[in-house]
Amino acid sequence: MQEVIIQSNDANQRLDKFLGKAYPNLKKSAMYKAIRNKKIKVNRKRAQFDQMLSEGDQILLFLPPDLLEKEVRKLQPLKDLEVVYEDDDLLVMNKPAGLLAMKDQAKDQDTLNDRLLSYLAASGSYDPASEQSFTPSIAHRLDRNTSGLVLAAKNAPTARKLASAIAQGQVGKYYLAITDKKPQQGRINLYLKKEGTRALVSARPMEGYDPARMIVKTIGIKDGRYLSKIELLTGRFHQIRASLAFLGTPLCGDVKYKGTPQKQGYALQAYKIDLKNAGLSKAGIIELPKSRQLSL
């Protein structure tokens, strides 16, 4: 028999979700059978697979040891991580162009998320050996060759709040983009559909296409190139890149979407995040220093 006490980072999730994270060898079929047969109890009472857990709850597992083996996450060696803002709950990083946000293959890869975990472990904010079901993670992604600000939660309650705020459009996301032509100004309403590694765009509603909205304002011109600020109102796959290309003004260097080739890749940066309406941070608005912002 094994006893587990629910910690703050384990609370407010379903029993089956917790068990699936805490015990990778415990398959769903075996888990649900054990719950039905009272081999898994919560606070010494019969458990329900979908019951919500609270901090301090006691879970008793009358299961073979091989099903209850835990896997401690292996961390990569500490690498460079540019932290723009940090408090007890939240961390904001500046992802360089060329670095993956998260793994896209099973093999080992250098990613922003792995650098985050190593940084938090080194600073004492995260101990993989003591966590039962929670692993810190970035809250949203940027394309590999898009640079800029990425949010991450340092604990489970903040991760849930952050995910909800992003889903409800309470986190403002602002980008800088460089194009060879002046893009359409003001509010842009299009429709996008992900197909493989590309985004298809339509000017009108179509089945399978989701609304894609953003606001564009050009703020500079130099040597025939235009620097624009973009407020992203929806978070679709390749939204800025595909939308600008559809309108005939692709990003400089974005060859996937018919942009003019350039050695340093395409020019797109997430330079500002507004958290004032998310209730998550005292920081409110987090912005890259002017010296680090994309420029002509």
Distance between CA atoms of 42 and 52, rounded to whole angstroms?
A: 10
State the pLDDT at residue 17: 96
Helix (H) or strand (E) holding 16: helix 15-22
Identify the three-state secondary structure at position 173: strand
How do residues 142-167 score in pLDDT, each as one tens digit? 999 999 999 999 999 999 999 999 99
Inter-residue contact 270 to 173 (CB < 8 Å) = yes
Calculate mean pLDDT across residues 89-100.
96
Q: Name the CATH architecture for the domain at 83-167.
A: 2-Layer Sandwich (3.30)
Of 193, 182, 272, 208, which is closest to residue 238 (Cα–Cα)?
193
- Give me the phi and psi of 250, to 5 degrees please: -65, 160
pLDDT of residue 74: 87
Highest mean pLDDT among 104-108, 211-215, 274-278: 211-215
Q: Count the neighbouring beta carbons within 10 Å of the beta carbon of residue 218.
A: 16
| pLDDT for the residue 107 | 76
Give the model's pLDDT for residue 72: 80
Rg of the chain over Cα atoms, rounded to whole angstroms, equals 22
Which among 175, 155, 191 has a CA at the least distance from the CA of 9?
155
Answer yes or no: pTM beyond 0.85: yes
B/e letters for 239-269, b = 16+ CB within 10 Å, e = fewer, are bbbbbbbbbebbbbbbebbebeeeeebbbbb
Amino acid at 251: L
Q: Measure CA 125 to chain center.
A: 19
Q: For the domain bounded by 2-68, which CATH number is listed?
A: 3.10.290.10
CA distances from 5 to 21, 30, 43, 190 (A): 15, 21, 10, 49
**Sequence ranges of the chain with CATH classification 3.30.2350.10:** 83-167, 172-274
pLDDT above 90 as % of the chain: 91
Q: How many residues does the chain have?
A: 296
Q: Which CATH superfamily is domain 172-274 in?
A: Pseudouridine synthase (3.30.2350.10)
Per the CB < 8 A criterion, the answer to whether 189 and 285 are in contact is no
- Are 288 and 166 in contact, with CB atoms under 8 Å apart? no
- For residues 58 and 4, give the distance between their C-alpha atoms in angstroms, rounded to a whole number: 6
In one-letter notation, the amino acid at residue 143 is D
User: pLDDT tens for residues 233-292?
Assistant: 999 999 999 999 999 999 999 999 988 777 778 999 999 999 999 887 677 999 999 999
Q: Where in the chain is the domain with CATH 3.10.290.10?
A: 2-68
Better pLDDT: 262 or 112? 112
Q: Are 48 and 18 in contact (CB under 8 A)?
A: no
